[in-house]
Structure 1
Amino acid sequence: MVDQRDPHAGLHSEHGALAGEHPGRVRNPVIKVHDLAWLEFEKPDLERAAVFARAFGFTPVLSTAHELHLRGTDPGAPCVLIRKGARSRFLGPAFLAAARADVLRLAEATGRRVAKLPDTLGGVVVDLPDPAGLRVRVVSDPHELPALPPQEPHTLNFGHEVRRANAAQRPPRAPARVQRLGHVVLQTTKYRQTLDWYLEHLGLIVSDFLYHPGRRDHGPVMSFVRCDRGSTPADHHTLALTLGPANRYLHSAYQVADLDALAAGGEYLRDHGYHHSWGIGRHIQGSQIFDYWRDPDGFMVEHYSDGDMFDNTLEPGWAPMTASGLAQWGPPATADFLGLKPGRESLRELRALFAALREDNEFDSRRFLGLLKVARS
């Protein structure tokens, strides 16, 4: 009898795991976080940060000489917290626990202390260091800000399906209104150790693994990781981790209403002299329509729309990591996006590369050669 079962049933990718490869989840994590709550930064010029934030599409909800809180139109906590500091740096992510009891359970399991958050945020927090040394916060019960008027998506005609008649389409060249924080992408010299830490402690599950071309047997070097909300779909990735020569922030992504909001908002940013990094295009892993920008401090931020949403039944996909495989359509990935553009950032990365090759971590000479192959692909 011929087996008629679909070999890719339960997968979203053409290729699933081979025997013995990473399963992309753990059986009994300490807790399962519900979402990414916010990201925290330090910057020396909060006024300049606020001007860019408005142009990008955030709404400031707290602005003092020492602190800036930025929100989207969705209800909930602010999605970016910026504190005044001597230099620009990423402090770390905060994940939202499903319940306060989860914060207590995580604190007990790790020997950490639960603390109250400031009155401006509300709720409680436990702070943990991940294996790369990044401070990871898990919070519960922060104050929930009410929803703001959203930027409505446009009514579109699809082929012969007419939904809009006797009306012109005129999206304004204005800031895209950020709806919410979607994900953060981090680079680490301890990729496998860091990935397993997030799966074990926060209950995240892998949507997609990437490996260096021709080196799958050496294991994955990047993962797109989502929250496990059971049968309720969650973003394809809330966190993405990639192996590299330094532990650092790569970019964060913020959802907007649709392609018109993203494109017209990008024109507004361009008109105001901000640096465009890459886009517009559509990703493969996650399927988002994307557009990447740099803020005045050099941090990369992404507008996106129409991302994949997965429940916990889908198993990880596996694919080679290539520069050309970053998008289904759109312009080729730029040197700026890939971190290859000459400048201070690429110089720092080069210095980190030589330092990493001398240290005991996962970024060894084999991984370096694999990364060169990715850049040429």
Structure 2
Amino acid sequence: MTASPYAASPHVAGLRSVALTVPDLAVAEDFYTRVWHLDVAARTHDAVYLRGTGAAHHLLSLHAGPVTQIRNVTFQARSLPALDTLARTVVEAGGRILAAVGPVAEPGGGAGLTVADPDGRILRFVHGDAEHADAGEVPDRPIRLTHVVLNSRDVARTQAFFERALGFKLSDRTRIMAFLRCGPDHHSVALGDADTDSLNHIAFLMPDLDSVMRGGGRMRDAGHAIEWGPGRHGPGNNGFNYFIGPFGVVIEYTAEVQQVDDSYPTGAPENWIWPPGRVDQWGISQPPSPALKQAQRAVFFAPAG
């Protein structure tokens, strides 16, 4: 899928990667390479950095630790000056700086900024990080991350931070979720109404719906049931299959994410009401499993310090 040059945010170009702490690094690496179909881009003594087939140096990093946590969400900044602008707007919007603009001391490099939002979620912004020259689309392999969904005890406040500090725009608001974009993808971040500030899920973009479906079969063969899907969402129009990965992390294979620009009419909850018994456009999927609903609120951010 070729992205258009449309820029919703003047500061943030897109979602690059998510970092997780896992209690057994070897088990997690085996799953995400052998079953989920990522490749190792780099490793250190206590972490592994995994890439898709796209240009991003890595889209998932796994770090050894005692419990499953989300360490940070990393976005691509549009420029080096954008990092300095973000350092200012984050503070103005109620966040705080954890690490000032400077060199990134991990594989991929570049310059980076690390912040905490008003609720303590750790967000990073990088520019000039390494990219892979062999980027492309390969059947059955994730290309990049397309979105991350974060639970929020106060969606309106979190949404206001993403809009004021990061320049995101609202694409749609449903009864339970706000979908925010920084570029042509319908959403790079979605915020779910919840009683915790936690990770809901991470979505990996596949090259086509066949890859999403074959991925569901591959996951079932590996002992990971499809916890929701197959289906096609309303907001974003993307096809999906959801799973619970190792150590309780919810992950999604998705494809055909809607591409938008400023002509897109922002949707309200009344625009996204399904007929009774339906949970998506196709109407063939059962609702999310109880296990998925529990896992979608059980992984928390590491303390911001």
> TM-score normalized by structure 1?
0.69
2:101 paired residue number = 114
1:328 paired residue number = 281
CA RMSD of aligned residues (A): 2.4
Larger proportion of strand: 2
| Cα distance change on mapping 1:143 and 1:105 into 2, 3 Å | same
1:173 paired residue number = none
| Cα distance change on mapping 1:268 and 1:129 into 2, 3 Å | same
SS of the equivalent of 1:327 reads: coil
Asked if the contact 1:72/1:180 (under 8 Å) is kept, the reply is yes
Structure 1: how far apart are the matches of 2:178 and 2:297? Answer: 26
In the alignment, structure 1 residue 270 sits paired with structure 2 residue 224: no
Asked if the contact 2:56/2:144 (under 8 Å) is kept, the reply is no
1:186 paired residue number = 150
* 1:25-64 equivalent positions in 2, closer than 5 A: 31-54=10-33, 55-64=35-44
SS of the equivalent of 2:240 reads: strand
SS of the equivalent of 1:297 reads: helix
Asked if the contact 1:284/1:326 (under 8 Å) is kept, the reply is no
Q: CA deviation at 1:315?
A: 3.2
1:73 paired residue number = 53
Residues 175-196 of structure 1, C-alpha deviations (whole Å, 9 max, x = no match) = x201111000011112111110
- Of 266, 269, 279 in structure 1, the residue corresponding to residue 229 of structure 2 is 279
Structure 2: how far apart are the matches of 1:252 and 1:273? Answer: 19
2:4 paired residue number = none
Identity %: 26
- Of 35, 51, 74 in structure 2, the residue corresponding to residue 94 of structure 1 is 74
In the alignment, structure 1 residue 195 sits paired with structure 2 residue 159: yes
2:208 paired residue number = 258
Asked if the contact 2:201/2:296 (under 8 Å) is kept, the reply is no
* 1:203-242 equivalent positions in 2, closer than 5 A: 203-211=167-175, 221-228=176-183, 234-242=184-192
Q: CA deviation at 1:148?
A: 4.6
State the structure with more CA Rg: 1
Asked if the contact 1:281/1:291 (under 8 Å) is kept, the reply is yes
Structure 2 gap segments, 5+ residues each: 1-7, 301-305
**Runs of 4+ with >6 A deviation:** 346-349
Asked if the contact 1:256/1:303 (under 8 Å) is kept, the reply is yes
Q: CA deviation at 1:308?
A: 0.4
- Of 119, 124, 130 in structure 2, the residue corresponding to residue 143 of structure 1 is 130
- Of 235, 248, 254 in structure 2, the residue corresponding to residue 304 of structure 1 is 254
Asked if the contact 1:291/1:302 (under 8 Å) is kept, the reply is yes
- Of 81, 86, 105 in structure 1, the residue corresponding to residue 85 of structure 2 is 105
| Cα distance change on mapping 1:306 and 1:104 into 2, 3 Å | same
Q: CA deviation at 1:348?
A: 6.5
Structure 2: how far apart are the matches of 1:188 and 1:104? Answer: 27
Structure 1 gap segments, 5+ residues each: 1-25, 153-175, 212-220, 229-233, 353-377
Residues 165-224 of structure 1, C-alpha deviations (whole Å, 9 max, x = no match) = xxxxxxxxxxx201111000011112111110000111111110113xxxxxxxxx5211
